[in-house]
Amino acid sequence: MKSPEKISPPPLLSRIPFKFEVLPLLIALPMLATGCQEGPEEVVNVYSHRHYDADQLLFDRFSELTGIEVRVVTASADELITRLEREGDVSPADVLITVDAGRLHRAKELELLRPVRSPVLSEAIPDHLRDPEGYWFGLTQRARVLAYARDHVTPMELSTYEDLASPQWKGRVLVRSSENIYNLSLLASMIAVNGSNHAEGWAEGIVANLARPPQGNDTDQIMDVAAGVGDVALVNTYYVGRLLNDQDAAARDLASRVGVFFPNQDDRGTHVNVSGAGVTAHAPNPDNAVRLIEFLVGTEAQRVFAETIFEYPVRVDVPWATTLREWGEFRADTLNLRRLGELNTEAVMIFDRAGWR
Amino acid sequence: MAVGTATDSVADRIRAILGSSGPRAISLTPWTASTLAVVALLLFPLMSIFVGVFGPPSETWQHLASTVLLDYVWHSLLLVVGIGSLTLVIGISTAWFVTTCEFPGRRLFEWGLILPLSIPTYIMAYTYAALFGHTGPIQTVLQVTLDPATTAGLRTGLMSLPGAGVILALALYPYVYLITRTSFMRQSGSILETSKILGKSSWHTFWRVALPMARPALIAGVTLVLMEVLNEYGAVRYFGVTTFTTGIFRAWFSLGDPAAAIRLSGCLLLFVFFLILLERVQRGRARFDGGTARHRPIVRFDLRGWWRWAAAIACGLPVVFGFILPVAQLLMWGIQVAPEAVNRQFLLLTLNSFVLALVAAIITVAAGLLIVYSVRLSPTTTLKLAARASSLGYSIPGAVIAVGILIPFIWVDRRLLAIFREASGASVGLILTGTVAALLFAYVVRFLAVALNPLDSGFERTCGNLDETSRSLGVPPLKTLLKVDVPLLRGTLLSAGLLVFVDILKELPLALILRPFNFNTLATRAFQLAMDEQVARSALPALLIIVTGMIPVILLSRLIGQHSEYGSDAHPSRMAEIHTTTTAQG
């Protein structure tokens, strides 16, 4: 064997020059730099669970109006709360936006939010849709309703959430899995009103009545009702609204076979949750954060929420989208949404015991 | 980035040490030390999570144990066994046909069979759910003759544990196919011919000669598949199947009890340890044949009659269901939404994803190289254990790693912040967690295992004792690595890097939690649109992930394919090169 110092690289090496491997590093450097927070320009940093395009358009509009740049990270509220917790007082986030009041309450309990005093916010948002101490504010409302098959069910047969657990609905109920926050909050509201034992009995009743094991998302439940897999499903209103206004004619056609029923109109009202926002405890730009939230409950933003996402505005002076108007007014449960957060863990455990996977 | 700088400074130190003590002094300490340092760094986030495991069981844990834990175990086990068997059957049969037989479309299938690897499993799940949806093409066609109520059951049936199993198997079998095919190709044609000359049937040769010889490769491939399965979150959650991973998310995020989540991770880890052990035991028995000189390429056997078509169909089905069908559906959606969705922001997403994956892949392979080479230099138990431990990240759900990384990184950030404040008075923000640095580090933690496996076997086969010879002749280890091993291992390095690259491109939970402000990747965009129940709009980013992922897949296949082109060329330098490229996987 020749002296090892003289071992020459095989031809393949010369074919792929080393330079190419350095190139990406050079590209990466400016990328790293853009990730850093530079200069003192006006910004507001948002952790958001909402990832609708309309939200981004609203943020752009806010920047246009105020000159404040909106920087966003979107992930699930639970993950964002964990991130806030870990970051502590060095957290760069100014605003936390979730799709459920229970999560905002949890953030408040973990001392991740700060109280805000804003006449604009307290005037625009009804009392039960915001934290009494100003830790968080509802941006939009979403009602959890019964979507029923028009050709199998008459609205006369429907009455309450509780009734869905009765034997007449055996093999006819559709629902998504219990990790979903909308189901958790609905159950939490039932624990608050009826007590744990009753709520657990209800969950067991629903499991016994299921047309198939829980699967898919809310849209899937609605489509399954339309296709005859089951007769009635628990879903949020805006998914029905979106399907009724879908680009795909076949989807619109299916959705039109589904009716929307607001349960519990004769007692506490239909379960309503909010998508909401709070200013973080260690926000570096708290003033900008408040301005952003004020903008989001302003008439312009509220109209965008109502018309593009089919959510119910929190402002009473903003008109509803046509689809929402067609479903009519309804009595909403006025349970303070803080309770949803307090009873969340119990709701998870009840679902586990009831076998609602 | 932390790893990159660590390796750099270590390399500097090594150079310094080697320089001072002369080229003849072969000091093992710096390699061992730097490897242990890197491994410790990588394990730190995992450690920071696992501190709480040994406490008394919490109320949450008792609740889980008495209600759903058994379901998690059972479902995970069913998925592991089901998907493991399915991927083995698909992967081995297609690899065998493509490598040893001649039939219509063989050359196309050679690389076509790898393509499903470019589709993230959650996109596969969403796309299949839509394909079987009530307004989807499959039901629409069937409804011509069948009652809509009958066809509606199809979708319900698909979105179940068996459905999830089949879809995941379709997405993951290429791991087995790739590795097994390379192994079959490496087997000398003369051995298989000898078996046939001795009167054994092709069937017998396959079962008794080729398959046992490929066993380490099979195990390596199926281990990768099973780790992916145990880690799976998006698809099983959407289908409503509860597994260990969904349980971890439930315990941590829904019940707010990290300790219970960690205990679940612990159970999951035991499972993974068992898998790794299995692979080690298997590999210990059946070592790779290191003989290079006697290698003769396999002469492909011309299939006759209906066997030709049977082989074509066997190879065609996984490609159709694992790639063509879902991609066709995505393309249809993509064309629908393209006019409004393709814009500058979209190009930026693509660039972000591509550069991020590239940089992370290079760092990961560099770290892998350091670890594998150090173990070669001094194969002590400590180092071997460290190497094994460093691949643990692959088996832990991304979200758990992400949270684990935040703890030490924010600690460092705090210190850095204080230092900068004192020095300049200016606030610089979070240097690690506020930039892609944390994300890059997380990718290395998560995907090191993907690079380690091929590097390990690549070294074992390709370099033989060449580097040992080089060192014994007085060339220092670093020089040997750079002048002997790295050139020989180019193919292996490239393919290890490509595998990591594709994985990172598809990766989701880490990117979701750790990315800096206003930084999106194709995966986060596709997932969010799908989660937002706007599946059609997720098609474009999904397609781009797939197309970007296809580039390395095709490159990889061409690299492996060069083997057959050079097959008759007996020039020694060519042979070495061929061997480099054929060890791409393994």
pLDDT digits (tens, 9 = 90+) for B334-354: 888 877 767 777 888 888 888
B428 and A36: CB-CB below 8 Å?
yes
User: Which of B63, B156, B344, B427 best probes binding to A when mutated, by most A CB atoms within 10 angstroms?
Assistant: B156
- Average pLDDT for residues A253-282, to the nearest whole number? 95
Nearest residue in chain B measured CA to CA from A342: B255
- Length of chain B as a residue count: 586
Q: How confident is the model at residue B582 (pLDDT cuts 50, 70, 90)?
A: very low
Nearest residue in chain A measured CA to CA from B410: A87
Helix (H) or strand (E) holding B91: helix B69-100
Cα gap A305→A303, rounded to integer Å: 5
Q: How many CB atoms lie within 10 A of CB B103?
A: 22
Q: How confident is the model at residue B296 (pLDDT cuts 50, 70, 90)?
A: low
Q: How many CB atoms lie within 10 A of CB A65?
A: 12
Provide, rounded to the nearest whole percent, the portion of chain B with pLDDT above 90: 19
> Any idea what DSSP says for residue B28?
-
**Torsions phi, psi for B270 (to 5 deg):** -55, -45
Decide: helix, strand or coil at residue A137.
Answer: strand
Is A252 within 8 Å of A243 (Cβ atoms)? yes
Single-letter amino acid code for the residue at B342: V
- Average pLDDT for residues A140-169, to the nearest whole number? 95
ipTM above 0.85, yes or no: no
| Residue B215, pLDDT above cutoff 60 | yes
Q: Where are the alpha helices (DSSP H) in A51-167?
A: 53-66, 77-87, 101-109, 119-124
pLDDT at B339: 77
- Average pLDDT for residues B315-323, to the nearest whole number? 95
- Average pLDDT for residues B434-444, to the nearest whole number? 90
| Residue B312, pLDDT above cutoff 80 | yes
Q: How confident is the model at residue A11 (pLDDT cuts 50, 70, 90)?
A: very low
DSSP B131-186: HTSTTSHHHHHHTTTS-HHHHHHHHHHHSSHHHHHHHHHHHHHHHHHHHHHHHHHH
Task: Return the higher-pLDDT residue of B549 and B176.
Answer: B176
Tokens of B99: 């490598």
Q: What tens digit of pLDDT does each residue of B530-563 get? A: 877 677 888 888 998 898 778 777 776 776 665 4
From chain B, pick out residues whose CB is under 8 angstroms from the CB of A92.
429-430, 434, 517
Tokens of B189: 């044609």
| Residue A149, pLDDT above cutoff 50 | yes
pLDDT at B576: 33
User: Which residues 280-339 of chain B have a CB within 8 Å of chain A?
Assistant: 336
User: Which of A1, A12, A288 best probes binding to B when mutated, by most B CB atoms within 10 angstroms?
Assistant: A12
User: Which of A179, A229, A340 best probes binding to B when mutated, by most B CB atoms within 10 angstroms?
Assistant: A179
**Torsions phi, psi for B465 (to 5 deg):** -115, 20
From chain B, pick out residues whose CB is under 8 angstroms from the CB of A27.
355
- Average pLDDT for residues B414-418, to the nearest whole number? 84
SS3 for B204-223 is: HHHHHHHHHHCHHHHHHHHH
Least confident of A201-215, B98-112, B264-278, B488-502: B264-278
Nearest residue in chain B measured CA to CA from A35: B435
| Residue B569, pLDDT above cutoff 50 | no
CA of A307, closest CA in chain B: separation in Å? 17
Single-letter amino acid code for the residue at B217: A
Is B11 within 8 Å of B362 (Cβ atoms)? no
Instruction: List the single residue in A86, A352, A357 with the smallest CB-CB distance to B403.
Output: A86
Provide, rounded to the nearest whole percent, the portion of chain B with pLDDT above 70: 83
**Torsions phi, psi for A135 (to 5 deg):** -80, -30
| Residue A172, pLDDT above cutoff 90 | yes
By the CB < 8 Å criterion, does B144 face chain A?
A: no
From chain A, pick out residues whose CB is under 8 angstroms from the CB of B417.
90
pLDDT at B160: 92
- Average pLDDT for residues B492-508, to the nearest whole number? 85
DSSP A259-288: EEE---TTTT-B-EEEEEEEEETT-S-HHH
A212 and B480: CB-CB below 8 Å?
no
Q: Which of A207-211, B135-139, B263-267 has the highest mean pLDDT?
A: A207-211
Q: How confident is the model at residue B428 (pLDDT cuts 50, 70, 90)?
A: low
Q: How confident is the model at residue B279 (pLDDT cuts 50, 70, 90)?
A: low
From chain B, pick out residues whose CB is under 8 angstroms from the CB of A59.
none
Is A72 within 8 Å of A265 (Cβ atoms)? no
**Torsions phi, psi for B393 (to 5 deg):** -55, -30
User: Which of B135, B358, B472, B510 best probes binding to A when mutated, by most A CB atoms within 10 angstroms?
Assistant: B135
Contacts of B539 (CB under 8 A, 6+ apart): B330, B331, B333, B334, B336, B337
Instruction: List the single residue in A7, A75, A352 with the smallest CB-CB distance to B483.
Output: A7
Q: What is the dihedral sign for C-alpha B271, B273, B276, B281?
A: negative
Q: How confident is the model at residue B49 (pLDDT cuts 50, 70, 90)?
A: low
Q: How confident is the model at residue A1 (pLDDT cuts 50, 70, 90)?
A: very low
Q: Where are the alpha helices (DSSP H) in B232-293?
A: 234-239, 244-249, 258-285
User: Which residues 380-409 of chain B have a CB within 8 Å of chain A?
Assistant: 399, 402-403, 406-407
Tokens of B461: 């086969």
Task: Return the higher-pLDDT residue of B152 and B464.
Answer: B152
> Any idea what DSSP says for residue B342?
-
Residue with tokens 């993907």: B450
Q: Which of A208-212, B278-282, B337-341 has the highest mean pLDDT?
A: A208-212
Instruction: List the single residue in A74, A79, A229 with the smallest CB-CB distance to B156.
Output: A229
- Counting one residue from chain A and one from chain B, the pairs whose CB atoms sit within 8 A come to 211
Helix (H) or strand (E) holding B126: helix B121-131
Closest CA to B532 of A305, A273, A309, A254: A309
CA of B358, closest CA in chain A: separation in Å? 7
CA of A215, closest CA in chain B: separation in Å? 4
Task: Return the higher-pLDDT residue of A308 and B259.
Answer: A308
Closest CA to B505 of B546, B452, B455: B546
A247 and B336: CB-CB below 8 Å?
yes
CA of B355, closest CA in chain A: separation in Å? 6
- Tell me the pLDDT of chain B averaged across its residues: 79
Cα gap B195→B301, rounded to integer Å: 14
**Torsions phi, psi for B201 (to 5 deg):** -70, 165
Instruction: List the single residue in B403, B417, B528 with the smallest CB-CB distance to A74.
Output: B528
Q: How many CB atoms lie within 10 A of CB B423?
A: 9
| Residue A32, pLDDT above cutoff 60 | no
- Average pLDDT for residues B41-50, to the nearest whole number? 78
Q: What tens digit of pLDDT does each residue of A88-119 get? A: 888 999 999 999 998 899 899 999 999 999 99
| Residue A136, pLDDT above cutoff 90 | yes
pLDDT at A19: 43
Q: How confident is the model at residue B199 (pLDDT cuts 50, 70, 90)?
A: confident
> Any idea what DSSP says for residue B481?
I
| Residue B379, pLDDT above cutoff 70 | yes
Q: What is the pTM of this model?
A: 0.81
Decide: helix, strand or coil at residue B566.
Answer: coil
Instruction: List the single residue in A10, A79, A226 with the smallest CB-CB distance to B253.
Output: A79
A21 and B362: CB-CB below 8 Å?
yes
